[in-house]
Every structure is written in structure tokens, then in C-alpha cells.
Chains A and B, each alone.
Chain A
Amino acid sequence: DVKVTQSSRYLVKRTGEKVFLECVQDMDHENMFWYRQDPGLGLRLIYFSYDVKMKEKGDIPEGYSVSREKKERFSLILESASTNQTSMYLCASSPGPPALYEQYFGPGTRLTVT
């Protein structure tokens, strides 16, 4: 069974703080993704990584950065948290070809920035 775990279920941070969200997958997947989920907007891709130390911007990368030093771990960093980054953050992973379509999601981290 694929397992994607996220370091925190709930997080409250202050404006201007640096925030780290951690994601770990245990299935040796090539690809990892960070999304944010907001009501009425669905899931929007922030960044993804198709290999260790490789990353690509998604649709809304502004205000975020990522790090992938090991294959199983993908971190999302909010350099200086702002209130408009209050959201649910979802990490996902998928195998390489030919099964790269199969995305597995973690349970999410609900981040509140005050």
C-alpha cells in the first residue's frame, strides 16, 4: 500500500515566519507534487519534482520554494508566510512511466497564517 505522509495535519504560523511542510512517500516514486486546495478553486499545483534535486514550477509558485534532497522526501517552504497562504496543502507522489498517471495523495496540512 502506497503511503504518503505529511509532517503536520494542522499548523498555525504568524505572518512573516518561514514555514516548512514536509512530505514523505514510501514507494520509491519518481515524481512528487505540492498542491494547495481552496474552496471553489480545486487543487492548484505549486511545484513538482520528477527526480532528486530536480524541480519545476507549477501554476502558482510565487511565495513558495521546494527542496528534494532525497527521493522519498519533498519539502515545501514558505519563505515569508502571508495570510493569503492560509490553505490546505496536499502532497502527492506518482511512479515513473508507464504508471506516472497514478497520483497518491497525503492527508493534507491545514495551514493558518495569522
Chain B
Amino acid sequence: QQQVKQSPQSLIVQKGGISIINCAYENTAFDYFPWYQQFPGKGPALLIAIRPDVSEKKEGRFTISFNKSAKQFSLHIMDSQPGDSATYFCAAYNFNKFYFGSGTKLNVKP
């Protein structure tokens, strides 16, 4: 069974809008939560990550919100741009292993 559940599967946002992708997990032993961005024909690249002792982390237009009690975390992309169009994966780390969500294909319309 999937250890990290990600939604939505696809997302269409207008340029300048906010993109929000959500992930949920069950295993409370996870201790690191990264987000990856993947462009067509490329491998995923680390975008931003958070540890469970922090509720929010911001890097430029990208913010992770983390709710430890709800076992949920989300990626917010502010002022979304067409260049942000890509597939985004959340992940969770525990004991040398990364568990990935199923991915969200984001399309930012000009």
C-alpha cells in the first residue's frame, strides 16, 4: 500500500495563481519530508524539504506547510508561472528509504 498519499493527480492553475498540492502519511517515524519537481525527460530534482519539528518552510515562491498532528503536509506555489509546469512528488524518509507520493502534474496556463 502507498505509504504517502498525494492529491490531486493533476492541477491546472492560471498564471499568477496559487498551486496547492497535498500529501498525507501514516508512519509517524518519518523524519524528513522533501518535495521533488520533475520536468519531462528529466529525473526529479529536490525542490524544498521540511523536518517534522517545523510547521512551515518557505523558499522563494515555494512553501511547505506541515501539520504533524494531522499527518499531512502540502506544497504551495505562490504566483505560479508557466515555467512551474511540471510533475511534483512529495516524499517521506525513514531508515535509508524514501517513500514517494504518486505525483501531481501541474499545468500553469499563461
Contact = CB atoms under 8 A, between A and B. Distances in A.
Given A92-B43, A103-B46, A107-B41, A43 B96 contact: no
B52 interface: no
Contacts, number: 55
Contact of A45 (B34, B45, B98): B98
Interface in A22-81: 31, 33, 35, 40-45, 48, 50, 56, 58
B41 A43 contact: no
Contacts of A45: 97-99
B27 interface: no
A43 B97 contact: no
Interface majority SS on B: helix, strand, loop or mixed?
Answer: strand
Interface residues of B, number: 25
A45 B2 CA distance: 12
A102 interface: yes
Contact of A42 (B32, B43, B97, B100): B100
A31 B34 CA distance: 17
Interface of B: 2, 4, 6, 9, 32, 34, 36, 41-46, 49, 89, 91, 93, 96-103
Interface of A: 4, 31, 33, 35, 40-45, 48, 50, 56, 58, 90, 92, 100-108
